[in-house]
Amino acid sequence: MTRSLLNKRHFLKALGAGSLVAPWPLVAGAAPLRRVLVVGGGMAGATVAKYLRLWSNRSIEVTLVEPSAQYTSNIMSNLVLTGQYSPSILNYGWNSLTRNHGVVRIAGTVVGVEPGGSLGPWKVTLTTASGTQVRYCERVVLAPGVQFDAVPSTANAAVAAPILHAWQAGPQTTQLRDFLAAMPPTGTFVMTIPKAPYRCPPGPYERACVVADYLKRNKPGAQVIVLDANPDIMAEKENFAHAFGTMYASNLSYRAGRMLRSVQATTGQPDGAVTVDVVVRDASGQDIVMGTEVYAAQVLNVIPRHRAGAIVQTLGLADATGFAPVDGRSFESTMPGRAGIHVIGDASKTTLPKAGHVGNQGAKICADAIVRAFAGQTPYATPTANSACFSPLSNTVASWLTAVYQYQQDPGTGAWRYVATDQVSGTVGATEAASASAEQFSKMSTWYRSLMNETFT
Ligand SMILES: Cc1cc2nc3c(=O)[nH]c(=O)nc-3n(C[C@H](O)[C@H](O)[C@H](O)COP(=O)(O)OP(=O)(O)OC[C@H]3O[C@@H](n4cnc5c(N)ncnc54)[C@H](O)[C@@H]3O)c2cc1C
């Protein structure tokens, strides 16, 4: 007996046991339906689709709905913004998931999920180039990423769109690259960082470093100003603070506690000004406004606050934070009446950071929980996720941050959450590289390629 047959028989046996408690109607004598529809083919969605097929020995039917013709990776996009890498290094597709794992791909956008009556627990409505389609499934996994809040503007309402965030890689990345390249030699690049939680905690500081490095080499009279709504650097603090204070002491100015109030800009132009509230956080965590400041820029990069992608909002799966609360063992929504709908990746609300590597890990925890659910089992009680993230600090050196996240109960409050543990000291928190190096810059490419191949093939 081959190993795959053995695995499949075990799995089907488990499914048989599970059918006693399966939460949806089954036709007498027919094989139970095991259909999962995945919404969004990014870091989290592609991974969950692949692993549902792998770990069910292809017995779960997986449909992946994604509107884009190709996936554009945010990871590494800061080095496309500086012109170091071609945009093509960010491109990935879904053909390998179909070829290697039998994932069914539909080019479309999911616009609704509702109870499916006798045809299945969930009815999913999607729009495609050829019209509206409907699919029925036993479980839905939402992985739509994030959407961005409108930029507050004092100039005119139409200004919101052309102020570039480039926080969703794609056309904005190359547009900001072109603005940077065309910036006057003594110009100022002003970027704003939103309050956490936001996508990729070290990402804005990484961007500040590589832009400062680019300017140092290409426009030595130019400056970078970083306006952070948070009270301090939010990730990899030692390495970024060191880079700001040494490598970029002459051309980068970092200002914490600067909350974006408004943007003054002309539609379609790279330049303008931002007004920020200067805030300090009191003992209870409230921000106290101490004054306002105005910064003029020749290139503006405003990263607005973000929230879970539109479909999560439409389905009422987000709470007041804008993200979807989930059970950390399965990523199943904890909103009333939504059992069987899972939310993974940046759209979910957990104590895990919003990052691609972590999205890949959470997707595997979700896939495992769904395979178990189809077998009538409860999710694994204490899953573990890990994360590694390399940050380029210039065009030649990079640092890294890594953590292992253990799902555990807080002895004080009783709440279950993921807790990062420093693998060197054993204390709570992530581990960062001792310093930046060229060797780590080279390893960054290997890490990137491995993560993307692991996700998309
Ligand atoms: C500049 C930058 C650098 C970064 N660097 C790193 C890094 O070094 N390491 C790291 O781990 N992370 C990094 N990240 C973060 C990482 O890119 C994100 O955390 C990750 O992409 C989130 O994955 P996701 O699957 O949740 O969302 P996404 O990857 O954004 O995918 C969401 C997908 O869902 C699709 N979609 C949305 N709505 C629908 C719908 N209704 N129907 C169908 N499809 C839909 C979208 O088209 C999209 O393809 C970085 C981010 C940025 C901005």
Is 40 domain-assigned? yes
> What is the model's pLDDT at position 52?
98
Same domain, 52 and 117: yes
Residues 30 and 49 in one domain: yes
Report the number of distinct structural domains present in the chain.
2
Instruction: Tell me if 431 is assigned to some domain.
Output: no
Residue 305 has which token pair? 């606050």
Find the 292 Cα to ligand 1 centroid distance in Å: 33
- For residue 315 and ligand 1, the question of a CB distance below 6 A is answered with no
Residues 165 and 259 in one domain: yes
Pocket test for ligand 1, best of 75, 307, 440 (most atoms within 8 A of CB): 75
272, 320: one domain: no
| 209 in a structural domain | yes
Q: Does residue 279 share a domain with residue 315? A: no
Select from 331, 353, 379 the last residue of a domain.
Answer: 379
Q: Which atom of ligand 1 is nearest to the CA of 43?
A: 25
Q: Which of 346, 357, 443 to mutate to test the pocket of ligand 1 (most atoms within 8 A of CB)?
A: 346
User: Do 42 and 86 have their domain in common?
Assistant: yes
Last residue of a domain, one of 331, 347, 379: 379
How far apart are the CA of 414 and the centre of ligand 1, in A? 31
Residue-level pLDDT at 22: 36
**Is there a single domain that holds both residue 9 and residue 124?**
yes
* Domain extent at residue 189: 152-304
Please check whether residues 230 and 327 belong to one and the same domain: no
Angle between helix 43-55 and 356-374 (nearest 10): 30
Check whether residue 278 and residue 369 sit in a common domain: no
Q: Is residue 19 part of a domain?
A: yes
Where residue 137 sits, what CATH number does that domain have? 3.50.50.60
Residues 158 and 266 in one domain: yes
Q: Where among 379, 396, 424 does a domain terminate?
A: 379
Distance (angstroms) between ligand 1 centre and the Cα of 346 equals: 7
357 Cβ closer than 6 Å to some ligand 1 atom: yes
Give average pLDDT by consecutive 10-residue segment, the chain, 457 residues.
35 34 44 91 98 97 97 98 98 98 98 96 97 97 96 59 87 96 96 96 98 97 97 95 97 97 81 90 88 94 96 97 98 96 98 97 98 96 94 97 93 94 74 93 96 97
Q: Tell whether 405 is covered by a domain.
A: no
Question: Is 390 inside a domain boundary?
Answer: no
Q: 44 in ligand 1 pocket by Cβ < 6 Å?
A: yes
> What is the CA(270)–ligand 1 centre distance, in A?
25
**How many angstroms separate the most distant Cα atoms in the chain?**
76
Specify if 417 maps to a domain.
Answer: no
Distance 354 CA to ligand 1 centre (A): 9
Same domain, 282 and 339: no
Residue 429 pLDDT: 83
Asked if residue 422 is part of any domain, the answer here is no
Residues 39 and 134 in one domain: yes
Query: What's this model's pTM, rounded to 2 decimal places?
Result: 0.92
